[in-house]
Structure 1
Amino acid sequence: MSPDLRVLAPHGFAARTALGFHPRDGRPVACWVVHPTSGDAGALARLDRFTSALGLGPHTGDRLTEVDDYRASLTAAGGWATLWVGDETELVAEHDDDWLDALLDRGWAMVVVGYATELAGADNAGVMAYLTSGRDASVGVVRAA
C-alpha cells in the first residue's frame, strides 16, 4: 500500500489508511492513522478532543478499546473511506483494494491516533515503531457500517 494517501484535513489533523498485520494470526488489518498536520497547540488540543469523542484507549492497554457504534463507524466506497463520528463526517481518506479487503474480512479497522506529524508518511513498520517508542498514542477498533 502506498504510505502517502492523502485525506481531507479538517481542524489541524489528518488521517490516512494503512495496512497492518495482526500479531496473532498474521492476516491483514485495515488501519486508520490519525496525526496532527502541525505542532500547533490548538491542533493538538483538537486532536485530544477528537480522541475523547471516539472513546479511544491508551496504546499500552491490555486490549484494544472497542469504540461503541453510536460513537463512530467506518464506510468505504469508490476508493474513499469515511470515518463517521456521531452523525457527522470527520475524516475521509483514499483506500486501496487490499485495505478494503481487510476491512470487509474483519468487519473493523484499528484506529491509531498519534501526536507526531511524521505519521503522515509512516509505513506499517513506522507506525509500529511509533507505538513501541513510548510516545503518546491512543488506539481502538471501529466497526464497519
Structure 2
Amino acid sequence: MAEIDRYSFIWGMIAAFGECVAQEVKKTAFSPPFPPSELKQLEEEAERIMGEQGLSFYLEKNPDIPEDKRVYWWVLYKFPEALSEYEAVRERGHNPAWEFDKFKDLLSYGTAWGSLYEDVVPEIRKEAGPMDPVVRILFPDHGWPIERDV
C-alpha cells in the first residue's frame, strides 16, 4: 500500500475544511493537529491556502498540553466573532484535544444553515469516528487522543 505524505494530507484537509468555512457551511474548522517541530515545514503553504480562500486563521499552540505531547493546529474562520467564540470556550478551560464536544457547535456539527433552516431539526443521526484517518496517517505511534494529566 502506498504511503500518504503527511504534509500533503494536512494541506488537503486545510483546503477542504477551508472551503467549508469560506462558503459558510461551517463557522470554524481546525486543521489536523501536528507537532510543533513541523510548523516551519507546514506554515507557508498552509497560510497560502487559507489566504487564497479569504480566511483568517489563528495558530493554537496548546500551552495546556504537556510539552512532550503538545500539538498545534490552526483555527480557520471567516468572521472575527467565530474566533472570539473559540477563545471564550478555551478561556473556560476546555481544549478540543480532550473535550471535543464543547466545540461541536462552533464547528457547526449538527447545525442547519440557509433558507428555511428553521424547519430543520439538526441532529447527528449516527456518531462517526472522523479522526480515524487522521490518527492512522498523522499519529501512527498511537499518540492520539492525547492523554490528559490530571
TM-score of the superposition, structure 1-length normalised?
Answer: 0.35
Q: Which has the larger radius of gyration?
A: 2
More helix by share: 2
More strand by share: 1
